[in-house]
A and B are shown apart, each in its own frame.
Chain A
Amino acid sequence: MKLSLNWIKEYVEIPPDLELSRISYDLTMSTVEVEGAVDLSQSLNNIVIGIIKEVLPHPNADKLVICNVDIGDGEIKQIVCGGSNCKNGLKVAVAKPGAMLRWHGEGELVEIGIAAVRGEDSYGMICASTEIGLADLFPLEDEEEIIDLSDFDAAAGTALAIALGIDDTILEIDNKSLTNRPDLWGHYGIARELSAIYDLPLKDYVPYTPPQCEDLNITIADIERCPRYVGVRIEGLEVKPSPFHIRSRIWSVGMRPINAIVDITNYVMLATGQPLHAFDSDRLHGNITVRRAKENESFLLLTGKELSLCSEDLVIADDVESIGLAGVMGGVKDSVLADTSKVILEIANFEPISIRRTANRYETRTEAATRNEKGIDPERCDIALAFAMDMFKELYPQMRVSGYSDIYPKPLMQSEIDVSLDWLYRNLGKRIENEEINHKLGLLGFGVSFDGDLMHILSPTWRSTGDITIANDILEEVARMHGLDNFEPTLITTSFEGSINQLDVDIERKIKEYLAFRCGMNEIFTYPWIHDDYLRAIFPEDTNDTLTLAAPPSPQEQHIRASLLPNLCKAVADNLRYYDEFSLFETAMVYWNKNFTKPYDPTESLPYQRRNAVGAIVGDPENIGTLYRTAKGIIEALPRYTHCEALSFAATKKPIWAEDTLWQNILSDGETIGSLGLLSKKASLDCGIKRSAVMLFEFDLDSLIPFASRTNKFTALPEYPMTDYDVSLVFNSNIPWSEIHKTALDTVTDDNNVEKLLQNVSFVDEYRGQQVPVGKKSITLRMLIGSMEKTLTSAEIESCANTVIRRLTNTLGAELRG
């Protein structure tokens, strides 16, 4: 919202030494956020009043003339001009060298200099209204017209902004900061705040007293929706432009002047925050009724937009049809037209929520709707009426009020609140004297009385429509009027319970840090909604277990995640445009349309939601073995690094997205909590992944069993040397490592000697290819051999190793590789 500082000053006398920056700061701290301030005269710098003294033909151009112009201080300058209304004695706007303007009202601002125009020197130029941004104030009647300022009482050389009375500062207020303050949507309301902040008197107004006249027959059919309706029939009007000072006021805060009657309604709205409307009384059929619209009732808005209304809409109607969409916009038929001489002025109060809904329903967000939907107090009609009637009298001295009616059956209840002073002081952290509270709140319109510890507050009507309802609201009023900068910060006390053992919080952080710092993976965030393309790629079968959004971001993104894999695969596909080898992970919540529980309120049933962790390791399909072992290693080592119960692997249930022969389930405490595997060729292609191998894992993070502390015990270091003994053996390719490993370790159960000497058996590598026969693979394994009691001889080491090799040969058919 834009506010004119000059306009505010009509209601509260701001001392001249109070700087703009101070006003902006104080308003921002105590009332509403001032986002900026624009000095209107800035854009009119170096533009002054000039008086044309002589008009001579231009020797080289038919359409141009040479003017000798008095630009003040006795200076007469030659200016070339193309204005169609250029004539001797005309008072004009002269852009002196240095002024900024727009050629023909279009394009960028350019700086004016001294230049020759078709061979004749021109000291700046004589302006058209479009060239200096004043088209709304001086509408062009023909394209070549320059501004005629003959009506303005200003000497040659006077700065244009001062001559026009628009040497004003416009404050830009953040509308979000006044949604809860319906009283501030006009200059008078802001003036009231400033009067309270600076202890200045606020200009009062004299309520309007209608003359003896006919009662207008107005019916309110829905009193909930329209608590008050004031109608005034005014005769003896004509449609004419309003005086310049009214036009410029309206223009300065961003509205367009129309004609005197409409300008009065807009002016009063901008002054008081109360929207008004004028109907052409001669075009009305019979009486006014405020009622609900009929279903599918058609209505033509003032803007020419045709609406089909519904019974939720409130309309102003005459005996034949609707004439206005209540509180939002008038209709085209009964608005003020060129021949209007009689109007019915409407000043009415409407229920805010239905106004908002109607305005939204028809995408008709007008200045009136913006104010009406905030919840204006019905008493605001009084000040708006008083202001409006004063203006009608001023602009139309011959006007006559021939009908009047004020329907207000159920006056607004002012909010009354009792506040304990002890409670107030405790919350403020300091004591503020009764006198200060009384004085400051009084300036804001509150009635304050004290009775011991209790302070009784009577809220003004303009704060009683939902804004002020409880003691905390009064706390805020007292605090902001005392000045929020005037409270010394107090120290916070601490207590350390609760923050010490938070295993469920810590485990997630440990996992994230493990995956990022230990495993070199990059964390990503994805949306909770999944595009159908990726959902179908990873989970081709329909399932009722997925929840959907009623109004999704796009029609293809209605499903929300029961798995983090689809969006992870999307991120993989996206990153493959720039990288060949990388790894990503995410931890986030997944949601299932099942297992509803009531963890808090007995009436609230929430779906199954768990934190999941998901990862992708992307690389060359030639290296699938390494990719698999990398992914598996990440899961294998995770419990040790993140301090939770160990994980194991088994092939129980194939994940639908995995390649048939390359997947494992992840188990914790015997329960399957996730899977690991290679994204199938089909799923890869469906995700747009053509040439890369994507190893994935996903597990339920909430199923991990975190340890309260680090649990492993120290193992004594061996006193005697341990020896690594590597051996390569050829096996049938279908014998898994797990069996080879187990068989090798089992040797100890057979042989007492080996039991004492074989400390460990580990995998070194696997080879398949030309060096071994088809259907075979070579496994290199490493035995750790040593004794706790002595240093072994090489014969003892050999003997131990040979026992293990023999067992592998006998049991699994292994052959020593040459």
Chain B
Amino acid sequence: MREKLDQILKDGEEMVAKAISALELQEVKTYLLGKAAEITIILKEIPSLEASMRAEIGRVANSIKNRFTQLIDTRQEEISLKASEIPADFDLTVPGILPAGGALHPITQMCYDLNDTFRSMGFEIFHETEITSELYAFDNLNFPPDHPARESMDTYWLAGYEDLRGADRLCLRPHLTGGSVRYMQTHKPPYRFVYPGRVYRNESTDARHERAFFQYEALIVDKDFTFSAGKIMIQSILSKVFGRDVPVRMRVGFFPFVEPGFEIDMSCLVCNGKGCSVCKQVGWIEIMPGGTPHPNVLRAAGLDPNEYTGFYVNIGLDRLVMMRYEISDVRYFNSGDLRFLSQFK
């Protein structure tokens, strides 16, 4: 009898361990503990056993029954925790389901990167309308009356206004600086603001030239501001755009609305300044003009140039974005082509 009980226990333990689903376990439970189960029958037959054996057999059989109940419960929990039965060959390499696409234009992305940087430096963001007059586009900015930029070969004058002069001669803005004067006329110094926007020039287009392009102007006007402070500002911006410190140099340059004027170069990122085809072997890439606002510009804004000075830069965003992604043709920006635009997230 003891051997039989031992065998029942051993078989039962194996059966419980082998059950891998709730259904199988239920069957095992019925087999081990049901009415027809061996252990049930043995327990029923205990009164008919010899008195000397009753206590012993009864104790062992009960403990087997309890053991089965306990094992089945434990197994039950193990099976239920394996919520679904995941096949072993589940393919983990299938592609993920992507979130709905959609993206800002790469120039907008750059613009917002710059906005965030400048805002963190306390700059205000300014925007203005795009049709302006010769007064603001040229006269206020110290362009000589016969400057070639004023001719229709360069500037998009509006039909019906092209032969007028000054405030009556309307055009699509050829640059943002005229709008900066509007800002200064309507705000009190000192100024720290940026002015992102699109500008329009009548010229022929090719891979490097566009008729409509994005500029980003930053202007500081204050008392006792030295042009060398501008260098720090530029370095801060570029480190945001390119994610690391970029050496910058300022060299002489000429623009009607600044004096002194500078060409601002950054170290070529392709060759780290060693010289390559991208930077025409010089190690530097021209990225923006800058300088101290010309006294006539400050006067147009109603400021005394003996009292106020400042620093101005004008960043060509198209160019900067082209450098960021190594884009070869500026005309993609206005193409509306999703094959191009969807590459920038």
Residues of chain A having any CB pair with chain B under 8 Å: 24, 28-33, 35-36, 177, 179-181, 353, 356, 420, 423, 426-429, 466, 470-473, 475-476, 479-480, 484-485, 487-496, 498-499, 502, 504-505, 508-509, 512-513, 515-517, 519-528, 547-553, 558, 560, 567, 570-571, 574-575, 578-579, 582-584, 588-589, 591, 600-601, 603-607, 609
**B131 in complex: contacting residue of A471, A489, A575, A609, CB < 8 Å:** A609
Contact A29 B125 (CB under 8 A): no
Interface set, chain B 263-304, CB cutoff 8 A to A: 263, 280-282, 292, 294-295
CB-CB nearest in chain A for B231: A489
Q: Which residues of A contact B336 (CB under 8 A)?
A: 524-526, 567, 570-571, 574-575, 584
CB-CB nearest in chain A for B161: A550
**B129 in complex: contacting residue of A181, A353, A420, A609, CB < 8 Å:** A609
Q: With A487-B226, A574-B337, A575-B336 in contact, do A33 and B166 touch (Cβ < 8 Å)? A: no
Dominant secondary structure of chain B at its interface with chain A? mixed
Q: Which residues of A contact B249 (CB under 8 A)?
A: 29, 484-485
Contact A495 B122 (CB under 8 A): yes
Q: Is B38 an interface residue (CB 8 A)?
A: no
| Cα separation A466 to B143 with both chains bound (whole Å) | 12
Q: Which residues of B contact A353 (CB under 8 A)?
A: 146
| Cα separation A326 to B190 with both chains bound (whole Å) | 50
Q: With A356-B148, A551-B157 in contact, do A505 and B125 touch (Cβ < 8 Å)? A: yes
| Shortest Cβ distance from residue A818 to the other chain B in the assembled complex, whole angstroms | 36
User: By CB atoms of chain A within 10 A, which of B192, B222, B339, B342 has the most?
Assistant: B192
The stretch of B20-28, B45-53, B55-63, B254-262 that contacts the partner chain:
B254-262
| Cα separation A423 to B190 with both chains bound (whole Å) | 18
**B104 in complex: contacting residue of A420, A427, A428, A513, CB < 8 Å:** A513
Contact A606 B132 (CB under 8 A): yes
Contact B102 A504 (CB under 8 A): no
The interface bits of chain B over 234-264 (1 if a CB of A lies within 8 angstroms of the residue's CB, else 0) are 0100000000000001111110000111110
| Shortest Cβ distance from residue B251 to the other chain A in the assembled complex, whole angstroms | 4
Contact B212 A527 (CB under 8 A): yes
Q: With A509-B112, A600-B185 in contact, do A499 and B212 touch (Cβ < 8 Å)? A: no
| Cα separation A558 to B122 with both chains bound (whole Å) | 41
Contact B229 A489 (CB under 8 A): yes
Q: Which residues of A contact B72 (CB under 8 A)?
A: none
| Cα separation A257 to B340 with both chains bound (whole Å) | 50
| Shortest Cβ distance from residue A75 to the other chain B in the assembled complex, whole angstroms | 37
Q: Which residues of A contact B131 (CB under 8 A)?
A: 547, 591, 606-607, 609
13 contacts between A and B (CB under 8 A): A24-B282, A427-B292, A428-B226, A476-B260, A487-B228, A492-B121, A493-B222, A499-B123, A525-B198, A528-B130, A548-B159, A553-B211, A604-B168
| Cα separation A519 to B101 with both chains bound (whole Å) | 8
**B260 in complex: contacting residue of A475, A558, A601, CB < 8 Å:** A475
Q: Which residues of A contact B16 (CB under 8 A)?
A: none
Contact A426 B220 (CB under 8 A): no
Contact B306 A423 (CB under 8 A): yes
Q: With A487-B226, A523-B108 in contact, do A605 and B122 touch (Cβ < 8 Å)? A: no
Given known contacts A605-B167, A606-B131, what 11 new A-B pairs fall within 8 Å (CB)? Answer: A30-B251, A472-B292, A494-B192, A520-B102, A547-B131, A548-B160, A567-B336, A600-B185, A603-B166, A606-B170, A607-B170
Contact B259 A472 (CB under 8 A): yes
Q: Is B119 an interface residue (CB 8 A)?
A: yes
Q: Is B105 an interface residue (CB 8 A)?
A: yes
| Shortest Cβ distance from residue A196 to the other chain B in the assembled complex, whole angstroms | 13
CB-CB nearest in chain B for A475: B260
Contact B192 A522 (CB under 8 A): no
| Cα separation A596 to B226 with both chains bound (whole Å) | 40
Q: Is B333 an interface residue (CB 8 A)?
A: yes
The interface bits of chain B over 184-202 (1 if a CB of A lies within 8 angstroms of the residue's CB, else 0) are 0111001011000010101
Q: Is B31 an interface residue (CB 8 A)?
A: no
CB-CB nearest in chain B for A609: B129
**A525 in complex: contacting residue of B105, B112, B146, B252, CB < 8 Å:** B105
Contact B339 A578 (CB under 8 A): yes
Contact B124 A499 (CB under 8 A): yes
Dominant secondary structure of chain A at its interface with chain B? mixed
Q: With A520-B102, A526-B336 in contact, do A606 and B129 touch (Cβ < 8 Å)? A: yes
Q: Is B338 an interface residue (CB 8 A)?
A: yes
Q: Is B216 an interface residue (CB 8 A)?
A: no
Q: Is B152 an interface residue (CB 8 A)?
A: yes
Contact B338 A522 (CB under 8 A): yes
Q: Is B39 an interface residue (CB 8 A)?
A: no
CB-CB nearest in chain A for B281: A36
Contact B251 A484 (CB under 8 A): yes
Contact A492 B232 (CB under 8 A): yes
Q: Which residues of A contact B295 (CB under 8 A)?
A: 470-472
**A498 in complex: contacting residue of B124, B222, B294, CB < 8 Å:** B124
Q: Which residues of B contact A578 (CB under 8 A)?
A: 338-339
**B101 in complex: contacting residue of A480, A489, A520, A589, CB < 8 Å:** A520
Contact B229 A492 (CB under 8 A): yes
Q: Is B136 an interface residue (CB 8 A)?
A: yes
| Cα separation A24 to B222 with both chains bound (whole Å) | 35
| Cα separation A472 to B167 with both chains bound (whole Å) | 27
Q: Which residues of A contact B156 (CB under 8 A)?
A: 549-552
Contact A550 B146 (CB under 8 A): no
Contact A517 B253 (CB under 8 A): no
Q: Is B135 an interface residue (CB 8 A)?
A: yes
| Cα separation A591 to B200 with both chains bound (whole Å) | 14
Contact B227 A479 (CB under 8 A): yes
Q: With A476-B259, A570-B336 in contact, do A492 and B220 touch (Cβ < 8 Å)? A: yes
| Cα separation A215 to B59 with both chains bound (whole Å) | 149
Contact B172 A528 (CB under 8 A): yes
Q: Is B309 an interface residue (CB 8 A)?
A: yes
Q: Which residues of A contact B341 (CB under 8 A)?
A: 522-524
**B294 in complex: contacting residue of A472, A525, A603, CB < 8 Å:** A472
User: By CB atoms of chain B within 10 A, which of A179, A426, A485, A492 has the most?
Assistant: A492
**A30 in complex: contacting residue of B107, B252, B338, CB < 8 Å:** B252
Contact A427 B152 (CB under 8 A): no
Q: With A36-B280, A521-B102 in contact, do A484 and B250 touch (Cβ < 8 Å)? A: yes
Contact A498 B193 (CB under 8 A): yes
Q: Is B314 an interface residue (CB 8 A)?
A: no
Q: Which residues of B contact A549 (CB under 8 A)?
A: 156-159, 172
Contact B263 A550 (CB under 8 A): no
**A470 in complex: contacting residue of B119, B259, B333, CB < 8 Å:** B259
| Cα separation A521 to B153 with both chains bound (whole Å) | 37
CB-CB nearest in chain A for B338: A575
| Cα separation A797 to B84 with both chains bound (whole Å) | 35
Q: Which residues of A contact B119 (CB under 8 A)?
A: 499
Q: Which residues of A contact B334 (CB under 8 A)?
A: 525-527
| Shortest Cβ distance from residue B89 to the other chain A in the assembled complex, whole angstroms | 34
Closest 4 CB pairs of A and B: A429-B226, A571-B336, A476-B260, A520-B100
| Cα separation A489 to B247 with both chains bound (whole Å) | 13
| Cα separation A579 to B338 with both chains bound (whole Å) | 9
Q: With A551-B152, A591-B130, A606-B129 in contact, do A495 and B260 touch (Cβ < 8 Å)? A: no
Contact A480 B127 (CB under 8 A): no
| Cα separation A28 to B125 with both chains bound (whole Å) | 33
CB-CB nearest in chain B for A611: B127
Q: Which residues of B contact A485 (CB under 8 A)?
A: 249
Q: Which residues of B contact A31 (CB under 8 A)?
A: 252
Q: Which residues of B contact A512 (CB under 8 A)?
A: 104, 108
| Cα separation A488 to B335 with both chains bound (whole Å) | 44
Contact A476 B122 (CB under 8 A): no
Contact A33 B263 (CB under 8 A): yes
CB-CB nearest in chain A for B224: A426
Q: Which residues of A contact B162 (CB under 8 A)?
A: 550-551
Contact A473 B146 (CB under 8 A): no
Contact A589 B130 (CB under 8 A): yes
Contact A547 B338 (CB under 8 A): no
Contact B342 A522 (CB under 8 A): yes
Q: Which residues of A contact B160 (CB under 8 A)?
A: 548, 550
| Cα separation A488 to B227 with both chains bound (whole Å) | 10
